[in-house]
Amino acid sequence: MGARGLYVGRRAAALLAALLMALLAALLALAALYGRCRQEEPPSPRPPRPSPTAPRLTAPPGPAPAAASDRRLPRNLLPLHYDLELWPQVRPGQAGPFAFSGQVNITVHCLQDTDSAVLHSSGLRSRGAAIVRGPLSGAGAFVEVAGLRLDAASEVAVLELRGRLRAGRRYVLQLGFQGRLEEDFDGLFLTRYTDQGLSSMLIASQLEPTYARTVYPCFDEPAMKATFNIRIVHDPSYVALSNMPAIDISEMKDENGSLWTITKFNTSLKMSTYLTAFVVCDFDYVTRTERGNEIRIWARKEAVKSGYVDYALNVTGPIFSFLEDLLNVSYPLSKTDLVALPDFGAGAMENWGLMTFHESSLMYRPSDKFTSRKAMIAIIVSHELGHQWFGNLVTMNWWNDLWLNEGLASYFEYLGAIIVEPKLSLDKIFYDHVVQPVLREDNERGVRSLSETEERIKESFSLISLFDSITYSKGASITWMLSGFLTEKLFIRALTSYLKEFSFSNANQDDLWTHIQMVIDAQNEVQLPASVKQIMDSWTCQNGFPVLTLNLTTGTISQEQFLNKKNENSTDSYNNTWIIPISWMRNGSSQPLMWLDKSSKVFPEMQVSESEYDWVLLNVNLNGYYRVNYDQLNLKRLAHLLENDPKAIPAVSRFQLIDDVFALTQFGYIQIETALELTKYLAREDELFIWNMVLLNLVPENLESTLKNYEVYPLLKKYLLKRMLPIYHYYAGFIHENVDALEDDYFAQVYLEKLFATACWLGLQDCLNLSSELYAKWMDNPEYKIPFLIRRTVCCYGVAVGSDKEWNFAWEMYNRTDSTKEDKDILLSAMSCAKESWLLYRYLQYGLSDTLFSANYTSVVILYAVTKDIGNRIAWEFVTENWPILSERYGKELLHDVLKVMGRFVNTDVQIQELQTFYNATLEKDERVATTLLLELAKIENMERRELLIKVAKWLQKNLDD
């Protein structure tokens, strides 16, 4: 699954939160839990690989004890084939409520005698009598059903039988069902949209992880694969899509004589229930054929007509071919549909033969000259195409090894994207978007390991919570490291072997390790210090990751789990060790790969001389999933090297080096002064992705108003601007003269905004003038397009340095009917940038109005204001003055959002006390407990922030002239 809305959102939010804390220093108690590694065992022999449609008569992996929705089914019945009819009873223009009904006939093989049949069903009602036919060897045979029991808590349907199903025989379970068709994004759902000015509806599905059971009774576990014959009954004005090509279209009349269309689809390959998919819509499509695979992109008619899905069509085929050639495993379907849904909670979903996407993940306007949007589409499409092998063809046994689906797909998404967008820098984007963000997350108490036991998943996590950055980004990072020390050639060879053995079947991570070990054993080029299982279990079965400490004098490298050393309350003892591949260079020359397979080890090759030009760099290009803590001697030499010849260190390693020192500062390994020493060279840094990481550490967006209240601001302004000017003027030249020349500069398109926003915040006059100039140009001609690379900054500072005239123009543009959602958000934020108090107060009053804004925008308006240096106090006064109205009109949810954020932005102990007094007077007792805890954390952060900023100010004072 590609993100589920929360994958992209959580990853970005977590990154921002972590980076904010880099300057704040530390929160409380950040530790980690142990993952429980599987014991090393000899691999068990595998049965022969099944064909795509031939049933395997071996039982899937056995269940573990469970309760509620995580309950595993008994293993006495194995599904072989489903005949499924689905009838969503929806007509164009119908008001609702909506329902669907259907019939499912499931052919099962009995593995053990039983007098009941248990399968999954959730939220469905039975329709008609349940029937069990068989054994199929006897013509017309039946097993009488005594009763059908639906257990809502366990999400199962139990057919109690008067006879017994006998081992070795086949039976057919026949069940009619009906359910509600809701306007949400799980199971089978309905969504409304506008196309060519007309209101329309469509029906789509999202069944991962366990929503198939809400659409039809089934054996809803990934290892219980079967083939499917699917029929969809639908209104004749709609087209129906499913996993396989349509092979017949007929008509029928219902009991009222109304006409319906029946679309029948070809028999599917053997697959998991969560991959079945259904779409009923009135869309158009574009198509092309790639190696016999008919690829169709479906979307709203106006989007297809405008060419918005042409780019997705053009990249899908080449990525398919790339993956087929790389993996040496053919794509087994003859058609592939990609559907752009106007609204979709999952972001994207890899259903075999019928992938679904939020339309924003699939559409590109031909008039958009910039490649960042293309890159995003290529990455998302590539992720879902990667799933056709990792997830669809070979599926994890159960959700505890979800990373075998999502981690591998997240790794291949970047390889596939580079094929169609070769100007992208693979390593820079991968480290910036994947490795660095998850390193910021994977060190907190409660973060799980990549592969957990089923029991621990059921005890501590919901299945949906597994679709997180650990599964996606840590899984991809570990895969990248694995490919690095194996070499890509051997890694791909092992994957091909793994895919071919487990095609149309299931695997766990030990199966992958076995196939990699087989490849390693068959060659002599790559030698490992331990078995593949021992090495990789140390990364997947333990949570967190190591930090390596290097002593250049002795050549000693030691490892420990990267945890918060400032946590005085922690008495936990962590003895996790990893088997760590160490790529390294000395004085600019790459060295042979080393391994650290114990807590500490001496590497004589890493002992350096007294020359300041003798230096060592570990984890070159961030090939390993860990951080590095150098001794002062090496850090001093690296800082000197950066100032004199920054390109001597590869760009990704410069990124890693600086990110590591700020993270080490945050967690108490080194002092902030050490991290700041490595920023002296920045006037010579021309990589925008490195600058972005530096600025997010030094000037977190949500700390801008706070920093201005400390003496550090004028010092930081002078220090940073001196170093920012070269890269600022480089890009400002493009903005002034030819912004289109940046169309292939991916990082300019995603990070230039932060550079310009910081320059304006630091008071760089050229930046303020540029913002005023471009904003005035827009005011003179509302059809003028401010360069989107810096549009948010220009609008904010256009309003900030202007008067009510500029503010009123932003308000006017906000209310234009042709303003997009993104336009509105940018302008809503810009209006909070006003420097005149009365304008901010008016802005907040507008936010309170139930005619100017909908209720859900009120909190957004308040939150935008509270983050600004002037708006902070005004927003606080506004909330306290209008609390009765806010409380009555919007309820607790909005107020909790506001209070949490306001607690983050209090700058002094006096403000904290004011907030506490307010909470005590307005909140219920149980609510006060939670908010008081937030304020206690704010007090600690406030104290640590003061101490930290005093150190930063002293260091800046000494180094302003350097």
Q: Is 241 helix (H, G, I), strand (E, B) or coil?
A: strand
| Annotation says 730 is catalytic | no
Check if the beta carbon of residue 445 is closer than 8 Å to that of residue 32.
yes
For 313, phi and psi rounded to 5 degrees? -65, -40
The Cα–Cα gap between 442 and 921 comes to: 39
**Which candidate, 196, 199, 177, 198, places its Cα nearest to that of 188?**
177
- Catalytic: which of 324, 384, 406, 501? 384
The Cα–Cα gap between 322 and 307 comes to: 25
Tokens of 245: 């090509």
The Cα–Cα gap between 883 and 436 comes to: 41
Tokens of 553: 């004098």
- Quickly tell me which residue has 């996606």 as its tokens: 472
The Cα–Cα gap between 55 and 52 comes to: 9
Tokens of 680: 């002296």
For 898, phi and psi rounded to 5 degrees? -65, -45
The Cα–Cα gap between 557 and 554 comes to: 9
Q: 172-184: string of b/e by CB count within 10 Å (b at 16+)?
A: bbbbbbebebbee
Radius of gyration (Cα) for the chain, nearest Å? 30
| Annotation says 182 is catalytic | no
Q: Work out the burial of residue 279: count CB atoms within 10 Å of its CB; fewer than 13 is exposed, 13-18 middle, 19 or more buried.
A: buried
The Cα–Cα gap between 511 and 509 comes to: 5
The separation between the first and the last C-alpha atoms of the chain, rounded to the nearest angstrom, is: 50
Question: What is the β-pairing status of strands 227-234 and 77-88?
Answer: parallel
The Cα–Cα gap between 543 and 679 comes to: 31
**Which candidate, 154, 12, 18, places its Cα nearest to that of 562?**
18
- Render 629-672 in DSSP notation, one character per residue: EE-HHHHHHHHHHHHH-GGGS-HHHHHHHHHHHHHHHHTTSS-H
For 864, phi and psi rounded to 5 degrees? -60, -40
Q: Is 114 helix (H, G, I), strand (E, B) or coil?
A: strand
DSSP designation for 921: H
- Catalytic: which of 308, 331, 472, 797? 472
* Residues with catalytic function: 384, 472
